[in-house]
Amino acid sequence: RIPLLIDTDPGVDDALALLMAFNDPRHEIVGLTIAAGNVGLKHTVSNALKLCEVASQDIPVFAGADAPLLHPSPDAGYVHGQDGFGDVGYEAAKRQVEAEHAALAIIRLSHEHAGKLLLVALGPLTNVALALKLDPTLPQRIARLVVMGGAVTCQGNITPAAEFNIYFDPEAAHIVFEAFERLDLADWEAVIAHGLHHDRVVGWLAAGSERGRFYERISEKTRLWSIDRRGDEWHAADALAMAFALEPDGALDVQERPVSIELEGTHSRGATIVDWRRQEGRPDKAAILMKYDQARFERLIAAALAAG
Ligand code: BDR
Ligand code: CA
């Protein structure tokens, strides 16, 4: 089985992505490293522990950065609930977080699974950047890095230029994008192009197992917010990234291009600048997801909610 390490800031769409990974027999999840992002670290850690407990997954959970590397940034509690899981008041998990810091766990696990590790980053890239600063040889041992992040045609969800995960910690994203020769990018525009019709989501949730029922509760606030703000379709960003990670052959159009992270600018901090016409002569950096098999994406989600 392919060893899978997930760096995440759960988060409602993170939780769906995690359920998809839990349900994949071809991957073995070797750890969850947790960042601050959607909400503060205290909540993202509790949420990860709770989801593992509900889904009976014995996976080590490592707490990482509690803030961006340099500049504080607003969270996304208005989307995910102030606790990141819809403020449903769930009972805290009995299991505990590991003592090891997430950045150290990333380095250790990269040695234990050298050359085989699939690293999927579903939140701000702070933990991965810290790991890179501690050990710049990290990319040599990662078989594949998949990142949910970026707005590749200036249609970001936080500013026109920037998507949340990159906007939250652009310095970390810059460190990661410079250090890895190649990464797979599930960008915000791809997420918009792969919306999930709310009626279908409701159908999957109604057919859900115990974990599906838990997911129904924690996702309700976000889904209502989304109906109110964005209409008929829900944009479950991290779920699309996870589909791309677990079943890359479902990608129908991927464009490889140089990408750099903008750290300054009045309108452009946190932008992922894609050199679409390769004008700067830099090497291609990211395999940018343009189109994924929608039916396969939806099958993966439905199965994840029904499993357990
Ligand atoms: C990303 O930002 C977060 O709010 C989501 O969990 C996802 O990782 C989408 O821009
Ligand atoms: Ca996320």
pLDDT digits over 226-236, tens only?
999 889 999 99
User: What pLDDT shows up at residue 106?
Assistant: 99
pLDDT digits over 220-276, tens only?
999 999 999 889 999 999 999 999 999 999 999 999 999 999 999 999 999 999 999
Would the CB of 84 count as within 6 Å of ligand 1? no
- Take residue 212 and report the two structure tokens written for it: 């599906």
Q: Is 96 exposed, middle or buried (0-12, 13-18, 19+ CB in 10 A)?
A: exposed
Index of the ligand 1 atom closest to the CA of residue 157: 10
| Ligand 2 centroid – CA 40 distance (Å) | 12
Would the CB of 11 count as within 6 Å of ligand 1? yes
The residues annotated with a catalytic role in the active site are 235
CA distance 267 to 178: 22
% of the chain at pLDDT higher than 90: 98
How many Cβ atoms are within 10 Å of 41's Cβ, its own excluded? 18
- Take residue 169 and report the two structure tokens written for it: 């910690």
Residue of 120, 128, 164 with the most ligand 1 atoms within 8 Å of its CB, for mutation: 164
Would the CB of 236 count as within 6 Å of ligand 1? no
Would the CB of 165 count as within 6 Å of ligand 1? yes
**Ligand that comes closest to the CA of residue 188:** 1
pLDDT digits over 62-96, tens only?
999 999 999 999 999 999 999 999 999 999 999 99
